């Protein structure tokens, strides 16, 4: 049973669904989404089976096929405690967003097919153990998201998609350069990530330059200041499902890249430059929080909080890079923070979509008193907001607290500064809750009423996960911690 | 027992939210369950000194729950006070809007406080601490259609969360030093001064010490039972519980800071209470002042005195609030100008106010007499008695003064019609229950404290000073008139010393201005990037450079794929057709967005899609060959 290529099945199930859609070309919305939701559910099941089969710490469930032997590229997949939580996150979020967007009336079949293609790309990027394969999947995520924004967005999707395209293309270019450097540095030349992880090939200036290229590529994706301006623009234009995926999954490719490439393939260079990365991460986190506080559009506000939360992720990874022997908390926290942020922000964007369907505006100045009008929608939004501002017993706290612990060991002052971000996010969420949800009920209510079954099925599980991760983070942390120890041990 | 104690109020909160009916009954049931659990726990702990169990939290940092005789006693007190306030609230809220919101938050609040009391590790401690903050935010905002309530709720949470950063920092320091999250029975070496000061910051916020006392005044916008709960056994008490927990770890150098904060709060907020023209604002200021006493006792090195005042104050202050709520229901106001004289027509409310107030002023044999004496004795026993004893004695005098003044104001003045509100019986029942503890508790205080392991300091000089201060203050206070509004100094004291405009002007507005500036700067940055991108694209359009790069990428993967496909010899016509179909469909998907998105970028993207798709399809083919 253990030879069954479960990872490949997980990765390509969504693509199969997309192919099915394009071959059958269902006319109706229901049929298209039935196929889409069914496929996403099966993918989640497959990801669950990967988890059930066991991930001891190092790369497990390896699959390898020759691809282009002449240059040492192969189809290589594998999973460890860093990638599995992100794979599970991806599977959960795509299922939730497909359920959520089941009322899309415009070209439903194409939308579902694109979403499924995007899911395959994301899963593939997290599971690929070959540089070339990773690069391919990484690029496809860009393409899929470009079409979702441009085709199903609102306001000004052309400009937003264009910005997204420019930025990420630049990032990809640097990623490609770094990949080539790693390939050429290895002896014998190989794209096998496991070989590159076990024996980081580069040293000296070459390593520094390569790390610089990697850091730039992933700083755009994560995103860190000043490479983040594509993010609010893309979110403002993207449909709710697109925003949830963009913030929930695609940004994680940046954090994942910092760990898998920066920390594991160029560890010495990362250690040397870690103080700068730490500084940039702190500044980015605080700047993101302040910029979010300055918004009036609630969706833009949540988009900017991603800059804040992902700054914590990079901070945690950089803290781990700085202190290989002692600091277990930073890396544990960073990986968990990615999962928490995916669930919480994904949920928030879906809730904002539901809000916009009812109020037809996202301007906080024009909203008010929604709590008595839509109690379930408001209650869930308030819960997710408090999760996002890091309230204990909800998803972000265990992650952020570990990042603080790990950070304080290596950079107490920077950590104390990072704490300032917490109070600013608190302020901005309280302000949003006060303006949008509290107050006297508006005179005219939407005929949609409170959250319907479709929305509850999409958002409810995410909220349940927010509480579960908050109360019992061990179910993911056990997994992450085992791998983290191996990474740190290989580091000394 | 611990499970019952924690889960009963939590389940009540969840059921109220889910069912949206019978909120008061469910809340009361949860509260009763918690009391049963707490009593059972106290009984359990009587035989086995410490009950403790742990389970995995963060890696290497387990969660733990446990009870010592002291924490079990605290749990019982929280449960008793909460239950009596709940009974009162059943009457108070009978005709108010927002019952579901109110009762769910009240139950959550009690569960959070019990979690904090019973936590045996720092992670659960901070969880209870912050959940209580969330619940208080919701409770203060119960009547959120009033601007005052919204603003009060936001201010309370924001200010306490700011100081909570100190708790985070302090706990990080403690955890890294001790290597575990569990609170140790045998304290390790003292933490560095910066850690102690960080914890002190958290205490100052939660216990409303100077200069963070103003959130308590804003919190008065919530229903009165909320204030009663917040100000007695929960919320503000959490700060003192934190100091008691951390006490064995505090370096001696940190104690003078704690004493200074407590002393300044006693005096400054004591004057605010004395000048107040609103009965609830008087109580708010008085709460800060009384918690200052506890900090002073701790800093003097007598945690037993602090505990005794914590216990006594829980009953006294909740009793005072409940009678204030009765006056409020009678007159629809909490301003002294509107309620003065109503004591004569509301005998139960006045009796409750008088007994709890006299206890607070330190009149024997009420419970406050014993605890205040203990604090005065602690001041005498401190390393620096002139300061500690002096400030405690001055505080005792101030307390007696503002209580005497309030009694005079409630008694004199025009006769007001008696209250005729529904639910009055339940409100009175809750009040009388609390007053019973105020009257009778003093006789058991010392024994109870000895049972949980704390000694009460005693000194004849302290008793004499306390009695003199009480008599003098009450006598003088009776004749103080309602403060005449108008003099700027008086306003300044009443408004909690808003130096330079207070937090809104000093912190709030600059922060928002900075945030707006960041927002504007970000738009500027974005425009720059767009300009750059546009220029590059224009160049690319003419020079075809972007084209070349993209085509190279596509061309690079294309031949490789074809080569692979040729090698596999399995890429039969059917699969090829499928690939073609896929590609065609994606082209159609692209055409869909063509009206929106025309031109160069679009075409190149499509090429990329096709190239990548072909690549992925080839992978598929090789996958099939494998089986």
- Residue B591, in any domain of the structure: yes
For chain B, percent of residues with pLDDT exceeding 70: 83
> pLDDT digits over A416-464, tens only?
899 888 999 999 999 999 989 988 888 778 788 888 889 999 999 999 9
The answer to whether B344 contacts chain A (CB < 8 Å) is no
- Residue A324, in any domain of the structure: yes
Tell me the pLDDT band of B69, cut-offs 50, 70 and 90: confident
Tell me the pLDDT band of A268, cut-offs 50, 70 and 90: confident
* A31 pLDDT higher than 70: yes
Helix (H) or strand (E) holding A213: helix A204-221
- End residue of a domain, out of B458, B474, B499: B458
Give pLDDT, residue B440.
85
Q: What was the ipTM of the complex prediction?
A: 0.89
Give pLDDT, residue B419.
64
Tell me the pLDDT band of B185, cut-offs 50, 70 and 90: confident
Helices (H), B300-422: 303-331, 336-339, 347-361, 367-381, 385-411
Q: Are residues B511 and A293, on separate chains, in Cβ contact within 8 Å?
A: yes
Q: Best of B164, B515, B618 to disrupt the A interface by mutation (most A CBs within 10 Å)?
A: B515
- Among A36-45, B41-50, B454-463, B548-557, the range of highest mean pLDDT: A36-45
> pLDDT digits over B360-373, tens only?
988 888 888 889 88
* A34 pLDDT higher than 80: yes
Give pLDDT, residue B437.
86
- Residue A387, in any domain of the structure: yes
Q: What is the mean pLDDT of residues A232-256?
A: 91
Tell me the pLDDT band of A167, cut-offs 50, 70 and 90: confident
Q: What is the mean pLDDT of residues A67-82?
A: 85
Tell me the pLDDT band of A335, cut-offs 50, 70 and 90: very high
Q: Are residues A139 and B608, on separate chains, in Cβ contact within 8 Å?
A: yes
The answer to whether B173 contacts chain A (CB < 8 Å) is yes
- Residue B568, in any domain of the structure: yes
- Residue A465, in any domain of the structure: yes
CB-CB neighbors (< 8 A) of B137 in chain A: 430
For residue A218, give its domain range: 6-489
Q: Which of B141, B522, B619 is opposite residue A75, by nearest beta carbon? A: B619
- End residue of a domain, out of B410, B442, B458: B458
CA pair distance A39, A18, nearest whole angstrom: 9
Note whether B451 and B555 are same-domain residues.
Answer: no
Q: B7: exposed, middle or buried (C-beta count within 10 Å: 0-12, 13-18, 19+)?
A: middle
Cis amide leading into B341 (omega within 30): no
Q: What angle do CA B83, B135, B245 make, to 5 degrees?
A: 80
CB-CB neighbors (< 8 A) of A229 in chain B: 522, 525-526, 529
* A223 pLDDT higher than 80: yes
Give me the number of domains chain B comprises.
2
Q: Which residue in chain B has the smallest CA separation from A393?
A: B127
> pLDDT digits over B371-385, tens only?
988 899 988 888 888
Q: Are residues A392 and B127, on separate chains, in Cβ contact within 8 Å?
A: yes
- Quote the minimal CA–CA distance from B145 to chain A in Å: 4
CA pair distance B8, B235, nearest whole angstrom: 19
- Residue B413, in any domain of the structure: yes
Which pair of tokens denotes residue A396?
């972000």
**Cα–Cα separations (whole angstroms), residue A429 to A298, A341, A433:** 10, 15, 6
* A55 pLDDT higher than 90: no
* B428 pLDDT higher than 70: yes
Give pLDDT, residue A37.
93
Q: What is the mean pLDDT of residues B483-503?
A: 70
Tell me the pLDDT band of A5, cut-offs 50, 70 and 90: confident
Instruction: List, as one string, the DSSP characters of A217-279.
Output: HHHHHTT-TTS-THHHHHHHHS-HHHHHHIIIIIHHHHHHHIIIIIIHHSHHHHHHHHHHHHH
Task: Tell me the pLDDT of chain B averaged across its residues.
Answer: 81
Tell me the pLDDT band of B614, cut-offs 50, 70 and 90: low
> pLDDT digits over B197-235, tens only?
999 999 999 998 888 888 888 888 888 889 888 888 888
Q: What is the Rg, in whole angstroms, of the alpha carbon atoms belonging to chain B? A: 32
> pLDDT digits over B524-568, tens only?
888 887 777 677 667 666 655 444 555 555 555 545 545 544 444
- Residue B116, in any domain of the structure: no
- End residue of a domain, out of B413, B439, B458: B458
CB-CB neighbors (< 8 A) of B56 in chain A: 474, 478
Cis amide leading into A226 (omega within 30): yes
- Quote the minimal CA–CA distance from A199 to chain B in Å: 27
For residue B353, give its domain range: 262-458
- Quote the minimal CA–CA distance from B283 to chain A in Å: 27
The answer to whether B150 contacts chain A (CB < 8 Å) is yes
Note whether B564 and B417 are same-domain residues.
Answer: no
Residue B284 · residue B216 · CB < 8 Å:
yes
Helix (H) or strand (E) holding A383: helix A375-388
* B327 pLDDT higher than 90: no
Task: Tell me the pLDDT of chain A averaged across its residues.
Answer: 88
Q: Are residues A474 and B175, on separate chains, in Cβ contact within 8 Å?
A: no
Give pLDDT, residue B224.
87
Q: Which of A68, A110, A393 is opposite residue B131, by nearest beta carbon? A: A393
- Residue A1, in any domain of the structure: no
Give pLDDT, residue B572.
41
Tell me the pLDDT band of B500, cut-offs 50, 70 and 90: low
Give pLDDT, residue B596.
44
Q: Which residue in chain B has the smallest CA separation from A146?
A: B605
- Residue B618, in any domain of the structure: yes
Tell me the pLDDT band of B586, cut-offs 50, 70 and 90: low
* B166 pLDDT higher than 60: yes
A198-202, B242-246, B262-266: least confident range? A198-202
Give me the number of domains chain A comprises.
1
For chain A, percent of residues with pLDDT exceeding 90: 42
Give pLDDT, residue B569.
39
Give pLDDT, residue B610.
64
CA pair distance B44, B623, nearest whole angstrom: 64
Q: What is the mean pLDDT of residues A165-170?
A: 77
Give pLDDT, residue A343.
95
């Amino acid at each position: 049973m253990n030879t069954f290529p479960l990872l490949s099945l997980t990765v390509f199930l969504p693509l199969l669904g997309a192919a099915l859609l394009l071959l059958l070309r269902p006319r109706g919305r229901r049929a298209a989404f039935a196929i889409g939701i069914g496929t996403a559910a099966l993918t989640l099941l497959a990801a669950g089976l990967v988890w059930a089969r066991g991930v001891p710490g190092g790369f497990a469930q390896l699959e390898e096929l020759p691809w282009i032997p002449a240059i040492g590229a192969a189809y290589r997949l594998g999973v460890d405690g860093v990638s599995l939580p992100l794979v599970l996150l991806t599977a959960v979020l795509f299922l939730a967003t497909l359920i959520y967007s089941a009322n899309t009336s415009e070209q439903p079949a194409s939308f579902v097919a694109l979403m499924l293609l995007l899911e395959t790309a994301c899963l593939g990027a997290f599971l690929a153990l070959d540089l070339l394969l990773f690069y391919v999947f990484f690029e496809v995520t860009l393409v899929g998201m470009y079409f979702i924004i441009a085709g199903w967005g609102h306001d000004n999707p052309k400009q937003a998609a264009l910005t997204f395209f420019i930025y990420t293309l630049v990032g990809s270019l640097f990623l490609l350069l770094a990949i080539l450097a790693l390939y050429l540095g290895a002896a014998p030349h190989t794209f096998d990530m496991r070989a590159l992880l076990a024996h980081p090939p580069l040293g000296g200036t070459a390593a520094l330059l390569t790390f610089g290229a990697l850091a730039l590529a992933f700083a755009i994706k994560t995103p860190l200041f000043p490479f983040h301006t594509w993010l609010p623009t893309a979110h403002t234009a993207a449909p709710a499902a697109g925003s949830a995926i963009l913030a929930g999954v695609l940004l994680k490719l940046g954090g994942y890249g910092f760990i898998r490439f920066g920390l594991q393939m160029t560890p010495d260079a990362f250690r040397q430059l870690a103080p700068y990365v730490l500084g940039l991460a702190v500044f980015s986190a605080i700047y993101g929080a302040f910029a979010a506080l300055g918004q009036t559009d609630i969706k833009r506000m949540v988009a900017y909080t991603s800059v804040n939360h992902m700054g914590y992720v990079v901070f945690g990874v950089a803290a781990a890079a700085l202190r290989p022997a002692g600091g277990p908390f930073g890396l544990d926290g960073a990986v968990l923070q990615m999962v928490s942020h995916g669930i919480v922000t994904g949920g928030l964007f879906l809730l904002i979509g539901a809000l916009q369907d009812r109020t037809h505006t996202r301007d906080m100045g024009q909203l008010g008193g929604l709590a008595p009008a839509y109690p379930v929608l408001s209650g869930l939004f308030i819960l997710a907001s408090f999760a996002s501002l890091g309230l204990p017993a909800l998803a972000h706290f265990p992650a952020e607290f570990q990042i603080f612990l790990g950070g304080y060991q290596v950079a107490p002052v920077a950590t104390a500064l990072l704490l300032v971000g917490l109070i600013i996010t608190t302020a901005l969420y309280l302000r949003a809750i006060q303006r949008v949800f509290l107050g006297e009920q508006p005179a005219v209510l939407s005929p949609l009423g409170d959250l319907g079954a479709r929305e509850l099925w999409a958002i409810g599980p995410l909220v349940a996960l927010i509480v579960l991760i908050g109360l019992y983070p061990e179910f993911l942390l056990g997994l992450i911690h085992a791998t983290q120890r191996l990474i740190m041990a290989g580091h000394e | 027992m611990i499970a019952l104690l924690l889960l009963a109020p939590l389940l009540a909160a969840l059921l109220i939210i889910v069912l949206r009916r019978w909120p008061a009954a469910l809340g009361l049931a949860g509260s009763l369950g918690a009391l049963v659990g707490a009593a059972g726990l106290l009984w359990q702990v009587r035989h086995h000194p410490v009950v403790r169990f742990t389970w995995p939290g963060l890696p290497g940092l387990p969660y733990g729950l446990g009870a010592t005789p002291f924490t079990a006693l605290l749990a019982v007190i929280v449960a008793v006070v909460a239950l009596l306030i709940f009974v009162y609230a059943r009457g108070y809220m009978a005709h108010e809007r927002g019952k579901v919101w109110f009762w769910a938050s009240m139950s959550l609040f009690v569960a959070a406080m019990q979690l904090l009391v019973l936590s045996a590790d720092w992670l659960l401690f901070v969880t209870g601490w912050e959940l209580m903050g969330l619940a208080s935010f919701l409770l203060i905002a119960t009547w959120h259609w009033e601007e005052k309530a919204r603003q009060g709720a936001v201010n309370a949470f924001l200010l306490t969360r700011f100081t909570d950063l100190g708790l985070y920092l302090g706990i990080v320091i403690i955890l890294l030093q001790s290597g575990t999250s569990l609170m140790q029975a045998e304290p390790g070496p003292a933490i560095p001064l910066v850690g102690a000061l960080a914890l002190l910051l958290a205490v100052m916020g939660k216990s409303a010490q100077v200069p963070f006392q103003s959130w308590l005044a804003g919190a008065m916008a919530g229903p009165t039972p909320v204030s009663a709960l917040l100000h007695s056994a929960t919320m503000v008490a959490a700060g003192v519980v934190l100091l008691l927990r951390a006490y064995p770890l505090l370096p001696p150098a940190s104690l003078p800071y704690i004493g200074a904060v407590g002393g300044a709060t006693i005096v400054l907020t004591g004057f605010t209470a004395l000048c107040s023209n609103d009965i609830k604002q008087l109580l708010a200021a008085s709460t800060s002042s009384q918690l200052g006493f506890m900090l002073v006792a701790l800093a003097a090195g007598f945690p037993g005195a602090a505990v005794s005042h914590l216990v006594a104050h829980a009953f006294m202050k909740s009793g005072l609030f409940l009678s204030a709520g009765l006056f409020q229901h009678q007159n629809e106001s909490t301003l002294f100008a509107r309620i003065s004289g109503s004591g004569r027509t509301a005998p139960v409310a006045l009796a409750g106010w008088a007994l709890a107030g006299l206890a607070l002023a330190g009149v024997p044999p009420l419970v406050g007499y014993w605890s205040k004496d203990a604090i005065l004795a602690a001041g005498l026993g401190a390393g620096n008695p002139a300061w500690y004893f002096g400030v405690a004695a001055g505080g005792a005098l101030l307390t007696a003064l503002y209580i005497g003044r309030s009694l005079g104001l409630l008694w004199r003045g025009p006769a007001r019609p008696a209250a005729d509100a529904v639910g009055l019986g339940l409100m009175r029942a809750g009040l009388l229950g609390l007053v019973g503890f105020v009257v009778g508790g003093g006789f058991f205080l010392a024994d109870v404290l000895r049972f949980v392991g704390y000694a009460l300091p005693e000194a004849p000089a302290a008793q004499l000073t306390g009695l003199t201060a009480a008599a003098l203050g009450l006598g003088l206070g009776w004749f103080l008139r309602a403060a005449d509004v108008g003099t700027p100094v008086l306003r300044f004291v009443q408004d909690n010393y808003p130096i330079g405009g207070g937090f809104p002007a000093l912190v709030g507005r600059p922060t928002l201005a900075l945030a707006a500036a960041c927002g504007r700067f970000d738009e500027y940055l974005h425009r720059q990037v767009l300009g750059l991108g546009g220029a590059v694209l224009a160049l690319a359009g003419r020079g075809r450079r972007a084209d070349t790069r993209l085509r190279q990428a596509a061309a690079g993967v294309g031949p490789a794929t074809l080569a692979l496909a040729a090698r596999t010899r399995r890429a039969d016509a059917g699969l090829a057709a499928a690939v073609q179909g896929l590609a065609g469909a994606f082209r159609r998907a692209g055409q869909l967005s063509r009206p929106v998105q025309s031109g160069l970028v679009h075409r190149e993207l499509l090429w990329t899609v096709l190239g990548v798709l072909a690549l992925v399809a080839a992978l598929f083919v090789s996958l099939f060959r494998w089986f």
